[in-house]
Structure 1
Amino acid sequence: SRRSSSSVPTSPSPGRQVAAGSGSRRYTSTFGPYLLQRTLGEGEFGKVKLAIHLDTGKSFAIKLMKKDSLDQQTTKRAKVMREISIFQTVSHPYIVAVEEVVETREYIGMVMEYASGGEMFEYVLTRRQLKEPEACKFMCQLLSGVAYLHNRKIVHRDLKLENLLLDGNRNVLITDFGFANRMQAEKPDESKLLLTSCGSPCYAAPELVLGHGYMGEAADIWSCGVILHAMLCGFLPYDDDPTNPDGNDINLLYTYITGTKLKFPDHLSFEAADLMSKMIVIDPSRRARMPEIMDHPFLEPY
């Protein structure tokens, strides 16, 4: 979700309004047992608000979605219901936890743990690039969460810096399962192929656009390789096409990806470059699999 600096709404609210103080005309909104505060982000279905539990005082992030908007678009509603279903079946230290789902007459709200460290995107942006030991730690945490999902036959399909959060101890939290899907383990291999193109073009594997189907696990691994590249280099691979500088033309972007050799800055260690060269591989059948990645020397410290 994209960050927003919007303040707490003082007019129509998801719940009742509570006076901020004696004699004050300022009001704050509540949603169930939660006091809504500032907006943390804004996504496809609504806003994500910082919220305080009225009884415990604990901070949470609530993803608020208008029910009438979801009811008007069945595909959106199905996507939200799938995200909620997946969130409620996973539990991992490096995946955002959903505490509960609260439903009112107008809204559905996913109550999630609050990642006080903010977005990984902002963290990397302010530092331009990360040192290898820190990037190694973050990558190990990310891969631990992704491996957990894959072992449960779940693929994320939209891994990117913006969908990684940091908790108060600067640990990774994977979020936004709007594009996630389940793989059917009992079916033959050819029927495990996913057909829906999704995710962010600059992080998405080329087979999402160029092929007739793809293995979700391999696509997630490509995205993890791009994330590592962004952490260590401060920019995304394949973003230097002068004819398509912003990557807006998806077909042109993937033509450039498949026709351009991956290069790394000189300051990177051999181990870092070698790991990325095994993950960011055009042919998904030749792309490193999770056991090989986790056994790579670059990740050995963690």
Structure 2
Amino acid sequence: MIRRTSEIAASAALCALLLLSACGGGSDETWIAEVNGQQIPISQLRRILEARFELEPDVSREDILNEELSQLVTQQVILNRAHELGIEVTQREADTRLRKLHGNDFSGIDSEFLNEIRKQMLLERTELEDLADRIRFPESALVLYFEENRRRYRTPERVRIRQIVVEDEAKARQLRAQLGEGADFATLAAEHSLAPEAGEGGLLPAFARGEMPEVFDEAFKLRPGGLSRVLESPYGFHLLRSETRIPAHDPELTEVRDAVRMELQQKRLAELRRGWLRGLRRNANIRVNERLLETLL
């Protein structure tokens, strides 16, 4: 299924009314809708519908059709606006976004998916370009928002630990005894642990209370260097060793200014998006090839 930004999804209901009332197209069998002369191939919509119908068999096919057609037309309206503004996304920029999503392994990723990433980036940039002047905030607004939401930027206490996970309790107790006699935890983890981080000596990334399964709450009772008792979970039997404790931190605005600004901008964009899309659609010439709609149900 074609991926879309959550911003575009939010506009589907509004766009549906416009699409369903639009006039029908001609006899051309290759396009399902047209936006200012830019045609949307029926094959594109058909691929999306086939996936949705299979994934959501209990949902009305007509509702799915209207929603997905609305999405595609909304996308095309914005892409037309991107062309007017001269906004582009280079291959290198799309590759950079792809690496953020999938790392450096591009195997199994085809050109169609890469084109979809470029399209998504165009949608995002066009919205930001059109609304840029309305999402700028003075320092006073940042200060006020930060003070009202200071607790949201607080970093809770975190711990970093090593763990060993084995299948049976007897083996866990045997390893616990070896550790008590001075054996190296990282070495035993590499040799015996079933957990994926065994190759790193059982070392886990730092985490806060509640971010991991309940068994890891025991880590917050340990001092650095401390060793847990044998702990049981659905994954097996665990031994935990505390490495470091990272205290909770209440940042100042200087430390999180960019995050505060971005959050304010996203809130304002959400408020402005509906009116922006309504204006773009009002100025667009949208035609739907209604004769072909029934063939898709």
TM category (shorter chain) comes to: under 0.3
Q: Which has the larger radius of gyration?
A: 2
Report the TM-score, using the length of structure 2 for normalisation. 0.21
Bigger strand fraction: 1
Bigger helix fraction: 2
